[in-house]
Amino acid sequence: NIKECYSVGLTAEKVSDRVCNSLENTYSITARNNGQFEKEYLFTLNGPSWATIDKSSLLLKPGEEQKLTLTVNPQHNVIPAKYNIIIKAIASDSEKVADSVEIFLTTVTKEECYQAYIGIDNKEIELYYDSTATIPVVIENRGTYTAAYDLSMTGTASDFVYLNPSVVTIDPSKSELVYLYLAPTGQVVKGEYSITVSTRLGDSPVLAAETVRIKVTDSPEKAEEEKQVEEK
């Protein structure tokens, strides 16, 4: 019964994953002394500069295992691509006693990770001033992670259009309904207006946007009054 006196094994929590630029992820790496004697092992990492491990060495008893933490934090300007990270364990007194684990990470832009979609069925509406209307707006998360979207409005109709709510948190592949409330007052000049609804993540660029065109007209009563005045 021949036993291996000196041996080390490395295993990773995940061997592949997708990570978002500008976000930090951590992964657990297990180091196990599979030999018959206590041994110190040194750890090295070969990979991009934004990947680090929290331990450089461990003293392990026979059969003992301990965790290392791999931290990855690709910055916003990291080129979206597939990267490989190799973590190696080597006995402090012999390079022959070693093991390694390889992890493949695909980086994607923050915008892709939190891709949003805005759905508005009624993109053209006509209403009288001093009247109101409500337009449902679907906000969908087509990204990979749960997102807290900031919603904003711009356009010539922003003085009489209101958005509620202005922040929605949505899980991947899920959607939420928000509403545009239109309430032009008597001071609103009749004519054509527009409002654009946009989604962002904090100070990120716009992830999605949709525009609604609004035509404000006189009420039938007001139009009749103006017609009578013109006839006189």
Report pTM. Answer: 0.68
pLDDT by residue for the chain (232 residues), tens only, comes to 555 788 999 999 999 999 999 889 999 999 999 999 999 999 999 999 999 999 999 999 999 999 999 999 999 889 999 999 999 999 999 888 999 999 999 999 888 888 999 999 999 999 988 889 999 999 999 988 899 999 999 999 999 999 999 999 999 999 999 999 999 988 888 999 999 999 998 877 899 999 999 999 986 655 445 444 445 5
pLDDT at residue 220 in the model:
60
Q: What is the DSSP letter of 13?
A: S
pLDDT at residue 191 in the model:
93
First to last CA, the chain: 117
Are residues 20 and 113 in contact, defined by beta-carbon separation less than 8 angstroms? yes
pLDDT at residue 229 in the model:
45
Helix segments in 24-103, DSSP class H: none
pLDDT at residue 223 in the model:
46
d(CA 25, CA 66): 20
Are residues 146 and 175 in contact, defined by beta-carbon separation less than 8 angstroms? no
Measure the CA angle with vertex 14, ends 9 and 18; round to 5°: 150
Indicate the SS3 state at residue 185.
Answer: coil
pLDDT at residue 2 in the model:
54
d(CA 224, CA 178): 36
d(CA 35, CA 37): 6
Are residues 200 and 110 in contact, defined by beta-carbon separation less than 8 angstroms? no
pLDDT at residue 59 in the model:
96
